Every structure is written in C-alpha cells, then in structure tokens.
C-alpha cells in the first residue's frame, strides 16, 4: 500500500465473516472477499497441489460451498456505503447461486466477470 501511495484510501483487515462485524469499523466503498467455496464433500478429490498445501479452513465452504456467501450477505453488507460495492470470488458453477444469495441480501445490481478460462469467477454487487 505504501509503494502505491494508497495507504490513506485502503484498509486491509482480516476478519471472521461468520461473526457480526465490529461496530467501530465504519462504512466502506468496497469490500472484497475470496471466501472458501469448495463443498466439503469435494475436498478429498482436490488436486494434491491444493489439498496438501492449503489449510482446510481456506477451502471448505460447507456442504454446498456457499456457507460463507450467506454469512457475508447477512452480516457484512451493512458496512457498505450507499453507493458501495462488494466483490466476491466464487467457484466454477457457483455464480448463479451466489448472485441469488446476494440478490436476496438486497443488492439490485449484480454483475459477473469471467476469469481467463471464461468461467464466471467474480461477482460484483451494488445496491444501485
């Protein structure tokens, strides 16, 4: 952040999205998250280059892989400014389910962006 002279404009925090956000965090223009999104039952079949080197807590997204998206939609979107945005990475084949979760969470504008393989990988959500 110092190298790019953005330290006054960016706040990086490590939080547990399963918990209610601390009241003193304030409001944000953008929230970015790459939550765990692999369904629990799929962990065993992951390539060993992932399974053997990544902590399970960084991978396991619950039974359907969507556990953390539901928590983000219900706990964290209140921290966005009125014109704020939340950006989420999701797994292959999960974009529609994540869009539905965020729509149910009150977002009116939801866009997806593809990765280099053409897979819908990023979900951008805003209220307006």
pLDDT in tens, 79-107: 899 899 999 999 999 999 999 999 999 99
pLDDT, residue 14, reads 81
The two tokens of residue 20 are 């209610």
pLDDT, residue 13, reads 78
Please check the confidence at residue 3 and state whether its pLDDT lies above 80. Answer: no
Q: Average of pLDDT values for 50-60? A: 93
Please check the confidence at residue 56 and state whether its pLDDT lies above 90. Answer: yes
CATH superfamily name and code, 25-126: Vaccinia Virus protein VP39 (3.40.50.150)
Give residue limits of the domains in the chain: 25-126
Tell which wins on pLDDT, 5 or 101: 101
pLDDT, residue 2, reads 67
- How many C-beta neighbours within 10 Å does residue 30 have? 13
* Mean pLDDT (the chain, rounded): 91
Distance of CA 40 to the CA centre of its chain: 17
Strands of 80-89's sheet in order across: 28-33, 80-89, 120-126, 109-114
């Amino acid at each position: 952040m110092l190298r790019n002279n953005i330290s006054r404009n960016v706040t990086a925090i490590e939080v547990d999205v399963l918990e209610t956000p601390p009241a003193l965090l304030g409001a944000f223009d953008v929230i970015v998250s790459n939550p765990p999104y692999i369904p629990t039952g799929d962990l065993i079949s992951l390539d060993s280059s992932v399974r053997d080197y990544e902590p399970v807590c960084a991978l396991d997204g619950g039974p359907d892989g969507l556990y953390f998206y539901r928590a983000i939609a219900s706990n964290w979107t209140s921290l966005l400014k009125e014109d704020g945005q939340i950006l989420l990475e999701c797994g292959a084949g999960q974009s529609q389910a994540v869009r539905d979760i965020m729509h149910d969470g009150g977002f009116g504008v939801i866009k997806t962006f593809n990765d280099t393989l053409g897979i819908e990988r990023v979900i951008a959500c805003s209220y307006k």
